[in-house]
Amino acid sequence: MARISTLEPPFAPDVAAQLATMMPVGMPPIGLFRTFAKNLPMTTAMSNWGRYELGRDLTRP
């Protein structure tokens, strides 16, 4: 059992918009980001990190 549960859809519009900035287009938000979303200011701060971690620049040889 997780100590902190993740948010589940449907998300509030502001939360959905922020989660969408952290994921590739068309991909649902991963559990880690849905856990962050319990604290929207932290989620906003982490969005650049999310785009980096899931972006193609990290996987290039």
Question: Per the structure, how many domains does the chain have?
Answer: 1
CB atoms within 10 A of CB 24: 10
Q: Which domain holds residue 61?
A: 33-61
Residue type, 61: P
Residue 46 forms part of a structural domain: yes
pTM tops 0.85: no
Mind listing the pLDDT tens digit for each residue in 5-28?
Answer: 899 999 999 999 998 888 888 889
Name the residue among 4, 7, 24, 14 with its Cα closest to residue 44.
14
**47 pLDDT tier (thresholds 50, 70, 90):** confident
Residue 43 forms part of a structural domain: yes
**Structure-block tokens of residue 55:** 């972006």
DSSP state of 58: G
Match 């999310």 to its residue by tokens.
50
Residue 52 forms part of a structural domain: yes
Q: 3-state SS of the chain: helix, strand, coil percent to 5?
A: 55, 0, 45
